[in-house]
Amino acid sequence: MIGYALFGTNDLPRAAAFYDALLAEIGATRFMESDRFIAWAVSPEAPSFGICLPFDGKPATVGNGTMVSLAMDSNAQVDRIHAKALSLGAKDEGPAGPRGMSGFYAGYFRDLDGNKLNVFCYSPD
Q: How many Å apart are CA 116 and CA 119, to the nearest integer? A: 10
Domains in the chain, start-ordered, CATH in brackets?
Answer: 4-53+67-122 (3.10.180.10)
Does the CA dihedral 65-34-70-77 come out positive or negative? negative
* 28-55 confidence digits (pLDDT tens): 999 999 999 999 999 988 999 999 999 8
State CA 100 to chain mean position distance: 21
For residues 4-16, give the mean pLDDT. 96
What is the distance between the alpha carbons of residues 119 and 13, in angstroms, rounded to a whole number? 23
125 pLDDT higher than 70: no
Q: How far apart are CA 21 and CA 92, in angstroms?
A: 17
Query: What's this model's pTM, rounded to 2 decimal places?
Result: 0.87
pLDDT of residue 116: 96
What was the pLDDT predicted at 1?
Answer: 58
- In contact, 39 and 33? CB cutoff 8 Å: yes
